[in-house]
């Protein structure tokens, strides 16, 4: 048995911690905020799985591959769809109470699915229900371990939960990840050793000012893995949810609302999606998001309107209580009037490159959930596949702990001869080392650049401008010497992560001279099937035992 460090407490991290504990490992679960705080809590639509007699794994695979626009890894998709039903049954055993009707478990239809296969809980509170059940399971495992008598029942506690503890960097020794540097609630940095580290820190919605993610989604795991020398891939593919409520806080308006029959209108009252795609409002997310963005551009930036009035108050309040509450808080009654919606950053298809067992290019390091780029989503994630991917690949990562690769899937960063050629960091060496007089980047500036130039609609000219702007900033100063206050230290580490990720994301988007899935460029509006994946590496060449501020990216083919 081994010492396992799990970082992150969304669905992926909680499943990894539970599975590793049950397998007999000694587990430390670290999370930046309180244990229940994660992206998972905010997931509304549900979890997709072929659980019903009129559905099949093959049908789910076809829908997933189609949505992925030619960039899915077929092996990862097969794993996702084949093992998905078993993982959903695991969630039920862990206490998730999915909604039911007279026929059994209730299921919904969402965009780009050919079958109704999306399970939900609490109407539109699926993520919160899953998070609550898994947190309770983790706490039960931790309490059980705490009461063991050392030397009689075992070697001691097997699951330790450390809340309000942030990942700062990974520790690399002898070419292997052997732990992490953490910032604790006392403001002290400490190094924690482990035989294996499982990253489950979620995405980086905070790269953008308008996002459905909580503020803690700052890409900490992806940034730390990149700085340590792990390969990251396909960062240019950031999915923008088409319908976030266009009010402060941009609360999500689930795709399931359109699945129930709600429609989109522009300022003139025209149902514009009918002329865009055969699926209309249920077209793939990237299509709907771009169409909304185009309509908004033609009406001076005003949001479009989502009309759900035809569904009736009873259905809206019982099926979508979370959205109903958000509307009321904004002074809107969506049962009687259309509500304003606009795209917002939602999910990252890119991340730390892994094989189908969660293994990264660095021995000892695993990545699961939104932190990972498993290849299951390709260029555009199918709705409600994210929770499923987190459960499936977290389970597989634990099963692969300490096992040498046998499946032949390459995570060494060789993307093949047909990969996208990108660019390296244009900043001078002095800027990379933090010794220049350039101004320090701040979150507001990073978000402004990313939204304007690397958002829903992109162009080579805009991306080049973004790269130049980012090149004119220095990486935020981090550590207690920069500011002794704990909250400011956390913000500085987060902003530094966002800065690192913004640079390599823009470089990847600039290198992909095509439009595909969630990546759309007006100067290259057609797709190029010969292009495969962008893979980025830092130039970390030495063992990392402290914060690495000098790594420079290279995006390779």
Catalytic residues: 285
Q: How many helices (H) and strands (E) does the chain have?
A: 14, 22
Residues 252 and 554 sit within 8 Å (Cβ to Cβ): no
Tokens encoding 215: 């503020």
175 DSSP assignment:
T
Residues 420 and 519 sit within 8 Å (Cβ to Cβ): no
How far, in Å, CA of 150 to CA of 147, rounded?
9
Query: Which residue in the block uniquely carries the two structure tokens 């660019």?
Result: 423
359 DSSP assignment:
B
| DSSP line for 324-336 | HHHHHHTT--TTT
Residue 328: count other Cβ atoms within 10 Å of its Cβ: 11
Residues 83 and 75 sit within 8 Å (Cβ to Cβ): no
Cross-strand bridge partners of residue 238:
348
Nearest to 475 by CA among 551, 398, 526: 551
Q: Where are the beta strands (DSSP E) in 176-275?
A: 176-183, 189-193, 196-199, 232-233, 238-245, 263-265
How far, in Å, CA of 218 to CA of 199, rounded?
14
How far, in Å, CA of 425 to CA of 398, rounded?
35
CA distances from 462 to 315, 450, 521 (A): 43, 10, 10
Q: Where are the beta strands (DSSP E) in 332-411?
A: 339-348, 351-353, 365-367, 372-373
DSSP-derived 3-state class of residue 27: strand
How far, in Å, CA of 97 to CA of 486, rounded?
38
Tokens encoding 223: 């940034």
| DSSP line for 446-464 | HHHHHHHHSSSSB-HHHHH
- 187's enclosing H/E stretch is none
Q: Where are the beta strands (DSSP E) in 361-416?
A: 365-367, 372-373
| DSSP line for 71-104 | ---HHHHHHHHHHHHHHHHHHHHTT----EETTE
């Amino acid at each position: 048995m081994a010492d396992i460090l799990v970082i992150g407490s969304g669905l992926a991290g909680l499943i990894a911690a539970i599975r590793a504990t049950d397998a007999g490992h000694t587990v430390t679960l670290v999370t930046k905020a309180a244990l229940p705080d994660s992206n998972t809590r905010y997931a509304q639509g549900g979890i997709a799985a072929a659980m019903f007699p009129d559905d099949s794994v093959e049908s789910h695979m076809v829908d997933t591959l189609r949505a992925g626009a030619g960039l899915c890894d077929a092996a990862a998709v097969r794993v996702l769809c084949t093992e998905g039903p078993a993982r959903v049954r695991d969630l039920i055993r862990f206490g998730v109470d999915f909604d039911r009707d007279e026929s059994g478990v209730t299921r919904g239809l969402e965009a780009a699915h050919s079958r109704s296969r999306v399970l939900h809980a609490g109407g539109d509170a699926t993520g919160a229900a899953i998070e609550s059940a898994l947190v309770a399971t983790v706490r039960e495992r931790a309490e059980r371990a705490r009461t063991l008598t050392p030397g009689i029942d075992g070697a001691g506690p097997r699951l330790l939960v450390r809340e309000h503890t942030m990942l700062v960097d990974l520790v690399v020794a002898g070419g292997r990840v052997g732990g992490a540097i953490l910032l604790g609630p006392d403001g002290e940095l400490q190094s924690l050793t482990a035989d294996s580290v499982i990253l489950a820190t979620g995405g980086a919605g905070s790269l953008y000012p308008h996002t459905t993610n909580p503020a803690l989604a700052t890409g900490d795991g992806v940034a730390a893995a990149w700085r340590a020398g792990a390969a990251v891939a396909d960062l240019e593919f950031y999915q923008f949810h088409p319908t976030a409520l266009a009010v402060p806080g941009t609360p999500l308006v689930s795709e399931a609302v359109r699945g129930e029959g709600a429609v989109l209108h522009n300022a003139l009252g025209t149902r514009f999606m009918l002329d865009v795609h055969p699926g209309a409002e249920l077209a793939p997310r990237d299509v709907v998001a771009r169409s909304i963005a185009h309509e908004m551009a033609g009406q001076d930036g005003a949001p479009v309107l989502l009309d759900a009035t035809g569904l009736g108050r009873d259905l809206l309040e019982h099926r979508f209580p979370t959205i109903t509450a958000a509307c009321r808080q904004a002074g809107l009654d969506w049962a009687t009037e259309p509500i304003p919606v606009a795209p917002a950053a939602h999910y990252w298809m890119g991340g730390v490159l892994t094989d189908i067992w969660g293994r990264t290019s660095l021995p000892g390091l695993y990545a699961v959930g939104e932190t990972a780029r498993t290849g299951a989503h390709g260029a555009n994630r199918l709705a409600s596949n994210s929770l499923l991917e987190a459960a499936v690949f977290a389970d597989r990562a634990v099963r692969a702990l300490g096992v040498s690769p046998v499946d032949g899937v390459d995570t060494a960063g060789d993307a093949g001869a047909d990969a996208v050629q990108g660019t390296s960091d244009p900043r001078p060496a002095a800027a990379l080392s933090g010794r220049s007089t350039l101004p320090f980047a701040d979150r507001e500036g990073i978000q402004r650049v990313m939204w304007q130039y690397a958002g829903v609609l992109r162009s080579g000219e805009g991306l080049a401008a973004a790269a130049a702007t980012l090149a004119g900033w220095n990486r935020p100063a981090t550590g207690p010497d920069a500011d002794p206050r704990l909250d400011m230290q956390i913000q500085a580490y987060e902003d530094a992560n966002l800065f690192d990720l913004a640079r390599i994301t823009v470089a990847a988007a600039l290198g992909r001279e095509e439009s595909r899935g969630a990546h759309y460029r007006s100067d290259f509006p057609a797709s190029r099937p010969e292009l495969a994946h962008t893979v980025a590496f830092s130039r970390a060449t030495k063992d990392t035992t402290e914060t690495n501020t000098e790594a420079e990216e290279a995006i390779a083919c």
